[in-house]
Chain A
Amino acid sequence: MSIELGHFALILAFAIASVSVLGGYAFWRSGERIALFLAQGAVLQFVLVAVAFAALIQAFVVSDFSLALAVNNSHSLKPLIFKISGVWGNHEGSMVLWILILVAFGAMVASFGRRLPSDLLALVLTTQSLLVAAFAGFTLFTSNPFARMVPAPLEGNDLNPVLQDIGLAIHPPLLYAGYVGFSICFSFAIAALISGRIDQAWARWVRPWTMLSWTFLTLGIAMGSYWAYYELGWGGWWFWDPVENASFMPWLAGTALLHSALVMEKRNALKIWTIFLAIITFSLSLLGTFLVRSGILTSVHTFASDPTRGLVILSLLALVIGGAFLLFAMRASSLRSGGLFAPVSREGALVLNNLFLATATGAVLVGTLYPLVLDALVGTTISVGAPFFDLTFGALMAPLLLVLPFGPLLAWKRADVVAAAQRLLFAAALAIFLTILISALGGVSISLAPIGLLLGFWVAFGSVAELIDRSKLGRIPLADSWRRLVGLPRTIWSTAIAHFGVGVTVLGIVATTAWETELVTTLNPGETTELSGYVLTFDSFEQVPGANFIAEQGHFTITAPGGGTRPMVAERRTYVASGMPTTEAAIETYGLSQLYLQLGEPLENTHVVRVWHKPYITLIWLGAILMAGAGVLSLTDRRRRVGAPQRAAKPIAEPAE
């Protein structure tokens, strides 16, 4: 009966959301009663969807094959963790996870938002309920996860082996938290448009939500990239695959939103543009979530595709996105813009950042959708591959990275660019020196690599320039400098760390792309090969049974150039239920570099072994983690905390502020 109770809970949540939409849009102006009703409704929606989700997990854990979803995506032999993560390793279940995160954010607004003006709160919660009703309705009517199967089979069909990985337990929840978090910004934007009221308090509310979602999305994308890197067996960390682009576009737009909301909060400028970005970002999130389910694309992310479902999805997208833009077109002119600034100023730098990020988003969008549209209209299949994206995206990012370190050093309203440049002189000199040194030592030919290195170092050093400047390092005693450094506001720290993370990621990308080496060879146990100074010995090859698969393991011993040996085990698994094979590459981290070893299908008398040496590749993800960490740090800043009581009299108490 737990399954049916879960089903009922989801339906009840849908009913509350639907009624909230009708009641909310009819009565939002009429006072506190409707706001309280909606807030209670938001909390109830969260509790009910959580119950529905728990019912699904329970059915998967006990292998209840009277649930069609469990039959199609589970197996009684699967380890417990994959039974649980299997709940969202498919279209229907992932929709429930999506809705769960949506209602969780709604409940958070309802709980923390008691201090919001009641009409704004009512409108935000109503818009949030509209999204819940739309997606819960879509789930219940076209892809119901609670469909039963009679008679119940004795065994399930198992989950796609590629998804039977710890990555599935982490990547989708993080990514969805990012995607869905932007729905709050969207709801705030719609509320502002409907009520016609938009002020700095609005931005103060939107910015933490943007920061939170952006942090989740950053981690989600980084995790997805690392998962693809180790699981797909090719050692590629980014493929410009439409699905990856679909998650990258909201990130780019969200990054722009983060910066424009800053201008709005601090200087009351860029209001209309911020609203526009909030709508764009969530629209791209929707596009990202649903493009992969419409059946248009084929990839590891594509779950069952069904034309009816695709049509419903496209109609929903058109309705939500089209409706939002229509509202924007009708109401934007009635909003007042405010806050004047000179072109060379902090505001100006942030506008520049927004321009580049928005253009980059547009470029990725065109590259992703153009082949699809062309195929649909003309029937010509073209493929827009990595070269297009590398060139356009790279060309747009290079100038952005070039001016990035200037931004935090510029003053608001009107700034002195020469003064900022003087403070960056040291960072520039250091970046140039290091680039020349590395290029000379590494014997780099004339290519884009030194330019990339230069940009990476420049961004990394330039980002910490403000910290050094503010702490007066070298100009006053070290202990005093340290005290000043620790006492700096967290927002300054988080800006510096996030920008430093960008530089670190750029360095990782450049190093891996320029200096990666690979080797494809045939090896038998006992034989030895060599790559970039690492000596690989193939020790043995054996069959090992796993929980629900049989593994063929190749055992290798690696002797590093600096001495010392380490074992590496590369696997090929064949899953019992589906008979599908997967490769489990062996990855060994040496400092910041990695050795990546993949065992090919065993041949009659030998084995094909692929080995890559990926210098400094971990920097790519370390940079992303730094960015996300900076987001968390910024959220802990008392002055930005959601719903935190404002400190009364002395917000100027921080030293050096």
Chain B
Amino acid sequence: MFFWFIATAVTTIACAALYYAAARRTVNASVPDSAVSNSHFRLVLAGIDADQAAGKLGEAEAIAAKAELARELLRQDAELKKPHSAGPDMGRGALLACIAAVAVISLGLYAWLGNPDMPAQPLAERPEIAAQALDLDAAVARIEAQLAANPDDLRGWTVIAPVYLQSGRFADAQNAWRRVLELGGANADVQTKLAEALMLGNGGDATGEAMQLLTAAAASDPTHVMSRLYIAAELTRTQRYDEAVAAWNAALALSQGGEPWLQAAQQGLAVAQNQGEPATNAAETEMIAQMVSGLADRLAADGGTITEWTQLVRAYLVLGDKDKAQAAFDSAVEAYPKSFDRDDLDAIALEAGLKLNGAAQ
């Protein structure tokens, strides 16, 4: 509401300014300002004399220029004497209509486009920033004091457990999650969290109690993903690949598609299927080699962009063929002699130990 008050006031001031500027004149008629143009003609005349004095205008030419000027002056006088073909007069009514239109357009358009009720939110005054400024240690100490007074506060333990985990206090985190388990009953999420705290406290090893908790969590909830992922990871870590494949598949079966863990799970499955070796593909290498030789032939025959040359040099370097890489680099430098045009190519080549103009040396 306050905004609309100000907006209306601003509009009123603007409209009043327009009105008084235009309505101030009582005589609303065109005054041919011949004085202005006459002073202009006098100036041009003086300019002609000055040019003549400076040798910039011949004597005959100066007379011609003055004649031209006189004709122009006569023509303008004649024009001014002609009856003035005034257009429609801008009366007070038209003026008021214009001013009303300004007010209607501006207020209406703003009502459509604007957000009158939305306050400014400078960063320094934002409540989130004030909250961030609160000391984390002080907050933890306050919750701890509350929990000491009231050890059955389920919410307090739930809040503080992840904070312990984040600050590396794994034993405290385990204790907190245990309290949550006791107070809130067994639940797949809490069991997994406790297992997570145990694993982290144990350098990633999930044998013993952690594994039991994870198995229990997976058994109690057939759609629980987190526990299944940890189980699969643990089986892969302990090189029980056949069981791991089954576990990864069980986790992947729960995927709806697009989850953040999906790629990691697929990689894990591939590792387990390949008995712990990272996947390689001979056919792929073959294909790359073919593409590279195709590119090399084309560049040698027709030339190409610097990006293509860079690709070729990089490909030879990846394939470990340094001589061919040097040859390709030399050809590229020949095709693009200015280092300005070569972009990243120089950095890539020099890093790999190739030489600029290697052939020449």
Contact = CB atoms under 8 A, between A and B. Distances in A.
Contacts of A235: 340
A490 interface: no
Contact of B87 (A28, A65, A339, A651): A28
A62 B350 CA distance: 46
Contact of A268 (B25, B72, B94, B121): B72
A40 B347 CA distance: 61
A64 B121 CA distance: 5
B89 to A, nearest CB: 5
Interface in A315-348: 338-340, 346
Contacts of B58: 411, 413-414
A130 interface: no
A413 B65 contact: yes
A654 B54 CA distance: 11
B89 A19 contact: no
B28 A30 contact: yes
A201 B36 contact: yes
Nearest to B112: A11
Contact of B22 (A2, A18, A34, A412): A34
B151 interface: no
Nearest to A413: B61
Interface string B16-27: 011001111101
A101 B346 CA distance: 44
A534 interface: no
Contacts of A338: 68, 72
Contact of B121 (A7, A65, A267, A654): A65
Given A44-B18, A414-B61, A652 B46 contact: yes
B259 to A, nearest CB: 24
A284 B62 CA distance: 37
Contacts of A12: 10-11, 14, 102, 106
B88 interface: yes
A606 B109 CA distance: 61
A44 B17 contact: yes
Contact of B53 (A18, A148, A652): A652
B320 interface: no
Contacts of A234: 340
Interface stretch (A158-166, A296-304, A516-524, A563-571): A516-524
Interface residues of A, number: 88
A601 B345 CA distance: 12
A4 B114 contact: yes
Nearest to A7: B114
Nearest to A341: B61
Contacts of A150: 118
Given A32-B28, A235-B340, A520-B339, A63 B40 contact: no
Contacts of A646: 39-40, 43
Contacts of A26: 87-88, 90, 94
Nearest to B114: A7
A115 B36 contact: yes
B356 interface: yes
B121 to A, nearest CB: 4
Contact of A23 (B33, B72, B98, B347): B98
B123 A33 contact: no
Contacts of A201: 36-37, 40
B98 A19 contact: yes
Interface string A608-638: 1010000000000000000000000000000
Contacts of A652: 46, 49-50, 53
Contact of B37 (A3, A19, A140, A199): A199
B80 to A, nearest CB: 10
Residue picked from A28, A148, A411, most chain B C-beta under 10 Å: A411
Contacts of B47: 266, 651
Contacts of A4: 3, 114-116, 118
A92 interface: no
Residue picked from B33, B85, B351, most chain A C-beta under 10 Å: B351
Given A117-B36, A154-B129, A411 B123 contact: no
| Chain B interface residue bracket vs A | 35 or more
B134 interface: no
Contact of A339 (B31, B68, B116): B68
A23 B90 contact: yes
Nearest to B333: A520
B25 A32 contact: yes
A66 B121 contact: yes
Contact of B64 (A340, A521, A600, A606): A340
Interface string A13-53: 01110110011001111111110110111001000100000
Residue picked from A8, A39, A65, A115, most chain B C-beta under 10 Å: A8
A495 interface: no
B105 A18 contact: yes
B113 interface: yes
A40 B21 contact: yes
Interface string A500-541: 000000000000000000101110000000000000000000
Contacts of B69: 268
A12 B7 CA distance: 10
B185 interface: no
B253 interface: no
Given A36-B25, A48-B14, A59-B120, A267 B65 contact: yes
Nearest to B103: A15
A652 B43 CA distance: 10
A54 to B, nearest CB: 13
A152 interface: yes
B345 to A, nearest CB: 10
Contacts of B110: 7-8, 11
A124 interface: no
B328 to A, nearest CB: 17
B57 interface: yes
B57 to A, nearest CB: 5
Interface string B81-102: 0000111111000110011011
Contacts of A36: 21-22, 24-25
Contacts of A411: 51, 55-58, 61
A29 B37 contact: no
Given A1-B119, A412-B57, A520 B356 contact: yes
B128 interface: yes
B76 interface: yes
A552 interface: no
Interface in B305-357: 338-340, 346-347, 350-351, 356
A451 to B, nearest CB: 22
Contacts of A610: 339, 346
B346 A520 contact: yes
B50 A30 contact: no
Contact of A62 (B27, B61, B124): B124
A15 B106 contact: yes
B17 A40 contact: yes
B66 to A, nearest CB: 12
Interface in A251-307: 266-268
B280 interface: no
B351 A29 contact: no
A399 interface: no
Nearest to B338: A518
B61 A33 contact: no
Contacts of B339: 518, 520, 610
A608 B350 contact: yes
Contacts of A48: 14
Given A32-B25, A41-B18, A204-B40, A27 B94 contact: yes
Top 7 A-B pairs, shortest CB-CB distance: A29-B87, A40-B21, A62-B122, A413-B61, A603-B351, A15-B105, A63-B123
Given A11-B109, A15-B105, A411-B61, 16 more contacts: A12-B102, A15-B106, A27-B94, A29-B30, A29-B86, A34-B90, A36-B22, A63-B122, A66-B118, A154-B128, A411-B51, A411-B57, A411-B58, A518-B339, A601-B347, A657-B50
9 contacts: A5-B7, A19-B99, A31-B86, A36-B22, A37-B22, A40-B18, A339-B68, A603-B347, A604-B351
